[in-house]
Chains A and B, each alone.
Chain A
Amino acid sequence: MPNHTFILNGKRVTVDVEDDVRLLWVLRDVLGVRGPKYGCGLGVCQACTSHINGKAFNPCRTPVSSLRSSDRITTIEGLPERVGKDLHPMQEAWLDVDVAQCGYCQPGQIMAAVALVEEVHAKGRKVNDADLDKIRNVCRCGTYPRIREAIKQGEARMPGPKKKKAVKHTS
């Protein structure tokens, strides 16, 4: 079976699995990384949302063979490390607002929220209501209003929008 190598939450990993197995299952079933959740396998619900090179993506629709050895995959488990703390500021905001109900969608929500704030900041502006309206993550428990509140609070604790000439986003 083919080997696939990439950087997962700061550590280089190599897995032995068929090319077309989607990364979600490589993470959950092969590597035992269970923060990213399954909610559809279609790229719809966003429960699996993680980051590749700092940008949000859906591991459920990404064949493991499309990764390169230099790709940095971050799941919810690796998010705090990115800021060198126990918790990312977005996670802190989530706790302050007491967002989670069942919690199933929340890893994906938080990963999507962090990527959204970073993307918008890279464009030199702050998150607005139209940005929040476009978040696709499903929360069947209906925590949406608290998610909106937490993103605003989390954003305030993250480095602000880039000034005019944006420093190049690390990738």
Chain B
Amino acid sequence: MTDLGNRRPGAAGEADGLVPSEEAPGGISRRRMIGYLLAAPTLVAAARFGADPAEAAVPSLGPTDLADLSDILTAAAAPTFGLLKITVDSAGVAHFALPRAEVGQGITTAVTMVIADEMDLPIDKVKVTLADATPELQFNQLTGGSNTMHALYTPIRTAAATARGQLRATAADELSVPAALLRAADGVFTTPDGRTATYGSLAEKAAVRSTRTVKTQLKSAASLRYVGTEQKRIDARASVTGTKEFAMDLDVPNALPTMVCRPPKINGKALAILNAPDVKAMPGVTDVVIVPHNQFTPGGVAVRAKTFGQCFDAVRALNVKWGGGTVDDKSSASVLADLKKSEIPLTPALPGTTIDETFIFNFRPGDALEPNCAVADVRKDRAEIWSSLKSPIWAKQQIALALGLAPEKVAVHVVEGGGSFGRHLFCDAAFEAASISQKMGKPVRLMWHRTDNFRQGRSHPMAISRVRMTRQGSNVIAVDQRHTGVACDFTQGLGDIFTSLDTSQPGQNFLQFSETVFTFTANVPYQFGAVSQLLNEIYTFNTFNTSSVRNVYSPDVATSTELMVDRVAKDIGKDALQFRLDNAKDDRMKAVMRTVAQAGNWGRTMEAGTAQGIAIHSEYKGRSACLVEIDCRPQTVNRKIREAYTGPRVTKVTYAVDVGLPINILGLKAQIMGGAMDGIAQALTYGLHLEKGSFLEGSWDDAHYTRQWNTPPEVNVIVMPPTTGEPGGAGEFGVGTTMAAVACAYYRATGKFPTEFPINQHEPLTFEPFPTVPPIPASPVDGLGRAGIKRPRKKTTKKKTTHKAG
């Protein structure tokens, strides 16, 4: 049963105190209700991550032999092992260090809402920060698969409820009234005769001297004030005033700008610097060192200078002897040929009418707008790292190993990230910064150039997906799907060094992760008889630099199957929506479909060259349906905007999502909206071209992510009312469903059945590729032109008369 089912009948106020363990009322799931009071100067309440101690243990990954690494294991078996803690201070503020990365997905806001509700606090009396790498949390500090709220919802509530119960008991003592008569609101207890005690005044008195476990009870759904409402982000003001601090904004003494001159081909190695003294003599430059390429650090030649501008210049001036990379002779076409050779055969066809198509999904860039970056200060006996990390425990352990330090000597701080989309599962920048700082013996502020992010960063792996649908009459009786991709790197493992090392063993990346992720995410949400979906991957995990980028398999799988569903519907003469409704597996799915159909006016008459498309997708314990309208008329496709790829325009998106239990409706809508922008790009415009070991794209005007000229003027996201009582994921949900709906709409608008994505992949390039040597382009010098200012350019930097102070 779900936690929200645990309603307390007729409570005078909200759910309150601590329930003695042995008296847990019937129907309450006991194991989910164990809280801890920890010995501390003020009140600290906690809950164990995961359902109970047994479940919080090591996930079953099969036997591994890692004994030789045991020296880096932090063997702290403290009673607080693996707990999520809420601390109440004497100002009445509840503090919680969230063991997840906030990268824009809004989890700090959602968690703040959950704690505020459970503790009867206003939002501004809850402070959620990001936890430093905390190995004691084991596998519980990995941000991925859109699972944060799903995994943390109950433990955080339990900790908060424990704190509230202890505060209430303390207040009852202090005010000499039975606990049940106290009314709690906004961080204040009030007695029936109007006397009050604030949480702040109780925080110290409520502290315990020795740690103990208590039973506690969660609030009823009806008494929640914030959960399920629209709340604005807690960091919004910092974002709009430019005060939100990202890794590159931190003030770390002497951490000077640092960049890496990267090889011309993917994963090439720097063998020698041919002009080190010249580069060292350039203005502002302090250091030049080789950074070896390995599984963890892409590497090249690092330069450190007074400003990033001078790093750019130094990188461009470097003359480096490069060794070969891992894919020097490969191009998109040759990878495609390799993929085709490696497809797992289909099962023998059943009798009936079959359609059989293969869809191609090109490499897509994986990086956020904030480039890869990290600050590192490595000393002889200790190190400190700052970066946006989704696997910080792994970062800490791996950096300690690489630097030859004990893990407790390596502090890893998780900084809020400027986007991630799965990219920050990997800690490339942190690893690189640590290694450079050690080599230079100085603190460094490492940032990747944008062009390096596109060319040497991690991309969404190229894949093909073959789908065969077999039908008898109007019934689909079998679906076979064979998804074949370039290996997706999952060697972040579960965010710790043990599974990471294990995953790096030959074959293990696929066996332990790729296959598992595929099996658990790929599905056909219809009653279509015998369904067989299988994955195969080619190359080793580090041949190309890949990662799960706002989801890895399911957008491609959904797009392929949904297009085929449209084809079948067309063949049997059925309406695309009706056919889906007739065959959808469950009522939650039918409900989201009906919702978008109605809100988006499915079936309305559309002009030639424009059309609607609908698609559904089930993942993250949720259901979603997306209805889009697309305009493929020449006057739209051929719009002229400078250095833009315009193309067909999605003019309207109507999206309904059932996440089980929505926490922050406004945040959910934002995530789905963002995912939809991603889905539009992946369907229509956002691909990479691989040519002889290097990607051609090097800027945001080369790789066409959705821009304003591609943005639908109308976007309507509908969040369905709670269905399951448990929050599901949302960060990636919008992508696949929208991508599929756009593909289906394109098919209906143009009559052309798209089999390769992005759809514009084979149109002429819209740009002249930057050279690969030097690896980054020079920054232009005409910035004032945009403001309508024309000034003669000064020529030299040396010996030039200085600009007079005015």
Residues of A within 8 A of B (CB): 1-5, 12, 14, 17-26, 28-30, 32, 34-45, 47, 51-53, 55-63, 65-70, 75-77, 80, 87, 91, 94-95, 98-107, 110, 129, 132-148
16 A-B pairs besides A45-B369, A140-B369, A143-B673 with CB distance below 8 A are A17-B307, A18-B310, A21-B307, A29-B308, A34-B248, A35-B243, A40-B450, A41-B449, A44-B699, A47-B369, A51-B787, A62-B784, A68-B803, A103-B418, A104-B419, A142-B675
- Distance of B659 from chain A, by nearest CB (Å): 17
CB neighbours of A107 from chain B (8 A): 240, 242
Q: Are A5 and B805 in contact (CB under 8 A)?
A: yes
CB neighbours of A28 from chain B (8 A): 248, 308
- Distance of B463 from chain A, by nearest CB (Å): 22
CA distance A66 to B800 in the complex (A): 13
Partner of A5, one of B308, B796, B804: B804
- Distance of B489 from chain A, by nearest CB (Å): 20
Partner of B797, one of A19, A24, A104, A140: A19
**Which of A40, A68, A110 has the most chain B CB within a 10 Å cutoff?**
A40
A-B contacts, 9 of them at CB < 8 A, read A3-B802, A3-B805, A21-B307, A22-B781, A34-B249, A37-B369, A69-B803, A95-B240, A102-B416
CB neighbours of A98 from chain B (8 A): 232-233, 236, 666, 670
Of all chain B residues, the one with the shortest Cβ separation from A52 is B787
Q: Are A95 and B676 in contact (CB under 8 A)?
A: no
**Which of A66, A70, A94, A141 has the most chain B CB within a 10 Å cutoff?**
A141
Does B321 belong to the interface (CB within 8 Å)? no
Q: Are B700 and A39 in contact (CB under 8 A)?
A: yes
CA distance A139 to B676 in the complex (A): 13
Partner of B779, one of A29, A42, A147: A42
Q: Are B309 and A21 in contact (CB under 8 A)?
A: yes
Does B806 belong to the interface (CB within 8 Å)? yes
CB neighbours of A36 from chain B (8 A): 242
CA distance A67 to B707 in the complex (A): 31
CA distance A145 to B421 in the complex (A): 19
B225-241 at interface with A (beta carbon < 8 Å): 232-233, 235-241
CB neighbours of A22 from chain B (8 A): 309, 779, 781, 783
Partner of A101, one of B105, B249, B782: B105
Q: Are A140 and B421 in contact (CB under 8 A)?
A: yes
CA distance A134 to B103 in the complex (A): 27
Of all chain A residues, the one with the shortest Cβ separation from B312 is A41
Does B780 belong to the interface (CB within 8 Å)? yes
CA distance A2 to B429 in the complex (A): 34
Partner of A61, one of B235, B237, B674, B780: B780
Q: Are B708 and A132 in contact (CB under 8 A)?
A: yes
CB neighbours of B797 from chain A (8 A): 2, 18-20, 65
Q: Are B417 and A38 in contact (CB under 8 A)?
A: no
Residues of B within 8 A of A (CB): 103-106, 232-233, 235-246, 248-249, 251, 257, 283-284, 306-310, 312, 367-371, 416-421, 447, 449-450, 641, 666, 670-671, 673-678, 699-701, 705-709, 711-713, 715, 776-777, 779-784, 786-789, 791, 793-794, 796-797, 800-806
Evaluate whether A60 and B673 lie within 8 angstroms (CB atoms) in the complex, with A37-B370, A66-B794 already known: no
CB neighbours of B800 from chain A (8 A): 2, 19, 65
CA distance A135 to B626 in the complex (A): 26
CA distance A61 to B784 in the complex (A): 8
Q: Are A55 and B673 in contact (CB under 8 A)?
A: no
CA distance A91 to B711 in the complex (A): 22
Of all chain B residues, the one with the shortest Cβ separation from A17 is B307
CB neighbours of A139 from chain B (8 A): 369, 677
CA distance A135 to B661 in the complex (A): 36
Q: Are B447 and A38 in contact (CB under 8 A)?
A: yes
**Which of A12, A38, A110 has the most chain B CB within a 10 Å cutoff?**
A38
Of all chain B residues, the one with the shortest Cβ separation from A77 is B242
Of all chain B residues, the one with the shortest Cβ separation from A95 is B236
Q: Are A141 and B779 in contact (CB under 8 A)?
A: no
- Distance of A116 from chain B, by nearest CB (Å): 11
CA distance A1 to B237 in the complex (A): 38
Partner of B450, one of A3, A45, A70: A45
Of all chain A residues, the one with the shortest Cβ separation from B770 is A42
Q: Are A55 and B369 in contact (CB under 8 A)?
A: no
Q: Are B368 and A140 in contact (CB under 8 A)?
A: yes
Partner of A142, one of B103, B245, B706: B706
- Distance of B708 from chain A, by nearest CB (Å): 4
Of all chain A residues, the one with the shortest Cβ separation from B417 is A102
- Distance of A54 from chain B, by nearest CB (Å): 8
- Distance of B778 from chain A, by nearest CB (Å): 9
CA distance A75 to B249 in the complex (A): 15
CA distance A21 to B450 in the complex (A): 18
CB neighbours of B705 from chain A (8 A): 138, 140
Q: Are B673 and A145 in contact (CB under 8 A)?
A: yes
5 smallest A-B Cβ distances: which pairs? A69-B806, A35-B242, A102-B104, A142-B677, A104-B418
Of all chain B residues, the one with the shortest Cβ separation from A107 is B242
Q: Are A75 and B242 in contact (CB under 8 A)?
A: yes
Q: Are B779 and A61 in contact (CB under 8 A)?
A: yes
Of all chain A residues, the one with the shortest Cβ separation from B791 is A66
Of all chain A residues, the one with the shortest Cβ separation from B785 is A57
Q: Are A66 and B670 in contact (CB under 8 A)?
A: no
CA distance A2 to B800 in the complex (A): 8
Of all chain B residues, the one with the shortest Cβ separation from A134 is B641
CB neighbours of B777 from chain A (8 A): 42
CA distance A61 to B780 in the complex (A): 5
- Distance of A26 from chain B, by nearest CB (Å): 7
CA distance A98 to B709 in the complex (A): 21
Q: Are B249 and A23 in contact (CB under 8 A)?
A: no
Partner of B307, one of A25, A70, A134: A25
Of all chain A residues, the one with the shortest Cβ separation from B305 is A29
Q: Are B793 and A66 in contact (CB under 8 A)?
A: yes
Evaluate whether A77 and B310 lie within 8 angstroms (CB atoms) in the complex, with A62-B781, A66-B781 already known: no
CB neighbours of A23 from chain B (8 A): 783
- Distance of B239 from chain A, by nearest CB (Å): 3
Partner of B707, one of A21, A26, A66, A138: A138
CA distance A145 to B786 in the complex (A): 25
**Which of B367, B674, B699, B783 has the most chain A CB within a 10 Å cutoff?**
B783
Of all chain A residues, the one with the shortest Cβ separation from B644 is A136
Evaluate whether A69 and B804 lie within 8 angstroms (CB atoms) in the complex, with A47-B369, A57-B784, A142-B675 already known: yes
CB neighbours of B666 from chain A (8 A): 98
CB neighbours of A58 from chain B (8 A): 783, 786
Q: Are B779 and A26 in contact (CB under 8 A)?
A: no
Q: Are A102 and B418 in contact (CB under 8 A)?
A: yes
CB neighbours of B243 from chain A (8 A): 35, 77
Q: Are A19 and B700 in contact (CB under 8 A)?
A: no
- Distance of A45 from chain B, by nearest CB (Å): 5
Q: Are B236 and A69 in contact (CB under 8 A)?
A: no
CB neighbours of B235 from chain A (8 A): 100, 103
Q: Are B241 and A77 in contact (CB under 8 A)?
A: yes
Q: Are A55 and B788 in contact (CB under 8 A)?
A: yes
Q: Are B419 and A140 in contact (CB under 8 A)?
A: yes
Evaluate whether A59 and B783 lie within 8 angstroms (CB atoms) in the complex, with A103-B238, A141-B674 already known: yes
CA distance A43 to B284 in the complex (A): 23
**Which of B233, B236, B713 has the most chain A CB within a 10 Å cutoff?**
B236
- Distance of B281 from chain A, by nearest CB (Å): 13
CA distance A70 to B420 in the complex (A): 40
CB neighbours of A32 from chain B (8 A): 251
Q: Are B369 and A133 in contact (CB under 8 A)?
A: no
CB neighbours of B712 from chain A (8 A): 145
Evaluate whether A38 and B803 lie within 8 angstroms (CB atoms) in the complex, with A29-B306, A98-B666 already known: no
CA distance A101 to B670 in the complex (A): 8
Q: Are B803 and A141 in contact (CB under 8 A)?
A: no
Q: Are A42 and B240 in contact (CB under 8 A)?
A: no
CB neighbours of A138 from chain B (8 A): 369, 700, 705, 707
Of all chain B residues, the one with the shortest Cβ separation from A32 is B251
Evaluate whether A2 and B802 lie within 8 angstroms (CB atoms) in the complex, with A42-B779, A61-B783, A103-B418 already known: yes
CA distance A25 to B449 in the complex (A): 14
CB neighbours of A53 from chain B (8 A): 787, 789
